[in-house]
Structure 1
Amino acid sequence: MNTPNPALDVITIGEAMVLFAAQQAGPLDDASSFARTTAGAELNVAIGLARLGLRVGYLTRLGQDLFGRHIAAVLSREGIDRQQVVMDAEHPTGFMLKSRSDDGSDPQIQYFRKGSAASHMQVGELSSAYCASARHLHLTGIFVAVTPSTREVVLELAARSRAAGLSISFDPNLRPALWRSKDEMVASLNQLSTFSDWVLPGLEEGRLLTGRDSVQGIADFYLERGAQGVVVKLGPEGAFYATPTERGHVAGVPVTRVMDTVGAGDGFAVGVISGLLEGLTPAAAAARGNAIGARVVQFPGDADGLPTRAELDALRKA
C-alpha cells in the first residue's frame, strides 16, 4: 500500500507540446504572429496543482531539441518533479498551433505530434518505486489514445498505482481523431475508468461513453463500476456530483468575458483534485473546480489562468 508520508502528492502522465498561440483574432490560416507557450491537458493539471502548493511529478518523453528543452524549463520553473521525464535524442517534441478567438467560441487547433518522442514511451520506462512515492494519480483519455505503446503504458501505470494504494482520478478528455473508431474509444476509456476513484466527464462526453442521457444516469454508470465519486462538468451551468451516499448540483461561476475556452476542463480538474486531496467535501471540491475553470477561460493561454494559492484564496473571498 501507499506509504504514510509520500514524497509526492500527485503524479500524472501525458504528452507535453509547445503551443504557438496566434496573436490576432481570426482564422489560423491568416495569423501572422504567434506567442510560444506549452500545452497538454495533463501538463496543465500538473502546473495548476503545483501552483496550489502540491508536490507534483510528471511522466513523459521530450525530444532532445529546443522545444523539449523549453518544456523541461517550464516544468522546473513551475516546481514540477522531472525524475521521470526522459529526453529522447531520436524523436522530436510535438507542437501545435492555436487560433485566437475573442468572441468566446472554441479556437481552431492544428497538431504536429505524429512520431513524437512522447508517442514512443514504453512500459519499461515506468518506475514502480516512483509510482508508490505518490498519493494520487491523475489520468486523461488522451495519452492512452496516442499509440499502442502509450496505451500499454497508461494501463500499466493505472494498475501499478491501484496496487500501490494511490487514489486515481480520470478525465475522459475525448479526442476522437486519435482513435480508429468510436467503439474502440468508448471501450478503451470505459476500461480505464474502472481503475478510477473519481471520474470527471463533461456532459456530452458522459453521454457518449455511457449511453445514458441524464447526469444521474451518467453518474450511476461509473458508480456501478466501482468509482467512489463522479463529477459531471456542465460548463456555465456548473457541475453535478455524486457518490454512493450523496449527490447534488453546484452552480457555475458567472464570467463577463470569455477569452479562450481551451484548458477550462483542466482547471476544473485542478480544483476538484486539490480539493479532494485536502479533505473538502465533494460539493466544495466541485465548487473549487467551477471557480478555477471560470478563471481559466478569462485568460488567453491554456495555463495562464491557473491560480496560485493566494489567487485561489482571493477567488474564494470574492
Structure 2
Amino acid sequence: MARVLTFGEPMGLMVATEPKALKDVTTFHRYVCGAEVNFSVGMSRLGHDMSYISRVGNDPFGQHILDFLKEQHINTDYVTLDEVNRTGMQLKAKTLEGDPEVVNFRRFTAFSYMEPAIVDTVAWDKYDHLHVTGIPAALSDSCRETSIAMMKAAKAHGGQVSFDTNLRPALWPSEEAMRETINYLASLADIVLPGFGEGKILTGFDTPEAIADFYLKQGAKAVVIKLGTKGSFVKTEAEAFYAPAYVVEQVVDTVGAGDGFAVGTISGRLEGLSWADSVRRGAAIGALQVQVEGDNEGLPTPEQLATYQKSAKLSE
C-alpha cells in the first residue's frame, strides 16, 4: 500500500442529539472532524500508511484528537502541541433532511499558527502522495504559505499531489482572494477535485467539461468534478467521462461525503485501478458516509466496501 501524507486542521466536533436549533440543544455527541482528518481515517481504514501534519492545542480537545488519530493507525509524528493557543471546535445540528447547521470556532486556533518551516522536518522521500485541501489556506497567511510549500516540496521529491478545493467562503476575506489562492494551489496539483458548484465559482464556467479544461490547462493531469447525486465527471489527457453515483435511500448526514469520495478516488488510483473504477469506489464510500452520524464514522474497511459495492445500486 502507498505511504500518504496530508496537512490540515483537526477539530473537536459536537453533534446535537436532537433536531433543534443549536441554541436550544442541551446534549451533544463528541467526535473528531476536519476534511483532512476524514481523508486520513478513510485511507488508513483501507490499509494505506497515513501520516498527518498539524498543530493542536494542549487541551482536552487536542489530546482527544491525538488519541483518536493514533487509534485510527494514523502517524502523528508531525502533529505538534501548542501550549498557548486552543484547538478548533465545531458545533453541528442534527437534521432530518438536507445539510445540517454548522458553527465553527477556528479563528486564532493552534493550527492557524502553522509555519512553512514544518516542511523542512518532513522526510519527503518516504511518501508517495500528498493530499491537500483549500481549507488551511483560508485560515491564516502562514497556513497559506505552508500549503504552498508542502505542495512544492512533495512535487520536488517526486511525489504525487491531489487537491480538493473544499471551499469555505466564510473563512476568506473576499471571493476574489479565495478564487485567486485556490486556483493557484490547484496549479500545483496533479489531481484536482472540485465540486461542480465550487468549480463554477472558481473558474466562471458553467459546465463540467469547461471547468475540467480550465484546470488541465493550468497543469493538472486529471480533474474529477463531484456532481453530488448525479455522480462525477472525470477528464484527463487521455479520457473524459461521466460516472454515476450510488442510490442512497436514507441520508443521515451529508458532511464528509466529499472527503469519502476523495478517499475512494485517490486510494483507487494509488492501488492501480482505472479512473472509472476509482471514482466508482469514491461514490461508494461517499454513499456509505452519508448514512451515519458524524463526519468519518461511515468510512469503510476493504471488506465493508466490497460488500456494499456488491449489493448497492448505481443511479441511472
Aligned letter for 1:76? K
DSSP-derived class of the 1:248 partner? strand
The 1:51/1:286 distance shift into structure 2, 3 A limit, reads same
Match of 1:136 among 129, 144, 157: 129
Whether the aligned pair in 1 keeps the contact of 2:129 and 2:161 (CA below 8 Å) is: yes
DSSP-derived class of the 2:278 partner? helix
DSSP-derived class of the 1:199 partner? strand
Structure 2 residue aligned with 1:260? 253
Question: Does residue 18 in structure 1 map to residue 8 in structure 2?
Answer: no
How far residue 125 of structure 1 moved from its aligned partner, in angstroms, is 2.1
Question: Does residue 179 in structure 1 map to residue 150 in structure 2?
Answer: no
Structure 2 residue aligned with 1:69? 63
How far residue 131 of structure 1 moved from its aligned partner, in angstroms, is 2.6
Question: Does residue 282 in structure 1 map to residue 275 in structure 2?
Answer: yes
1:213-256, Cα deviation, whole Å (9 max, x unpaired)? 10110111111111111111010111111111101111110000
Structure 2 residue aligned with 1:191? 184
> How do residues 50-69 of structure 1 correspond to structure 2 at under 5 angstroms?
50-69=44-63
- Residue-pair matches, total: 311
Gaps of 5+ in 1: 1-5
1:75-105, Cα deviation, whole Å (9 max, x unpaired)? 10000001100011111111110000022x1
> How do residues 177-256 of structure 1 correspond to structure 2 at under 5 angstroms?
177-256=170-249
DSSP-derived class of the 1:81 partner? strand
How far residue 130 of structure 1 moved from its aligned partner, in angstroms, is 2.1
Cα distance in structure 1, aligned partners of 2:142 and 2:124: 19
Cα distance in structure 2, aligned partners of 1:254 and 1:90: 47
Aligned letter for 1:33? T
Question: How high is the TM-score relative to the length of structure 2?
Answer: 0.96
Question: How high is the TM-score relative to the length of structure 1?
Answer: 0.96
Question: Does residue 119 in structure 1 map to residue 112 in structure 2?
Answer: yes
Whether the aligned pair in 2 keeps the contact of 1:128 and 1:160 (CA below 8 Å) is: no
DSSP-derived class of the 2:76 partner? coil
Cα distance in structure 2, aligned partners of 1:113 and 1:218: 30
Structure 2 residue aligned with 1:3? none
Cα distance in structure 2, aligned partners of 1:30 and 1:185: 33
Cα distance in structure 1, aligned partners of 2:122 and 2:184: 25
> How do residues 23-42 of structure 1 correspond to structure 2 at under 5 angstroms?
23-42=17-36
Whether the aligned pair in 2 keeps the contact of 1:11 and 1:131 (CA below 8 Å) is: no
Structure 2 residue aligned with 1:163? 156
Structure 2 residue aligned with 1:300? 293
DSSP-derived class of the 2:148 partner? helix
Structure 2 residue aligned with 1:99? 93
Aligned letter for 1:111? N
Structure 2 residue aligned with 1:47? 41
Gaps of 5+ in 2: 312-316
Aligned letter for 1:95? M
DSSP-derived class of the 1:24 partner? coil
Farther off after superposition, 105-114 or 121-130: 121-130
Aligned letter for 1:243? T
Cα distance in structure 1, aligned partners of 2:70 and 2:61: 14
Cα distance in structure 2, aligned partners of 1:286 and 1:100: 29
Cα distance in structure 2, aligned partners of 1:225 and 1:125: 27
Q: CA RMSD in A?
A: 1.1
How far residue 127 of structure 1 moved from its aligned partner, in angstroms, is 3.2
Farther off after superposition, 243-252 or 118-127: 118-127
The 1:229/1:90 distance shift into structure 2, 3 A limit, reads same
DSSP-derived class of the 2:80 partner? strand
How far residue 129 of structure 1 moved from its aligned partner, in angstroms, is 4.2
Farther off after superposition, 286-295 or 120-129: 120-129
Cα distance in structure 2, aligned partners of 1:166 and 1:173: 22
Aligned letter for 2:16? A
Cα distance in structure 1, aligned partners of 2:15 and 2:27: 8
Aligned letter for 1:148? D
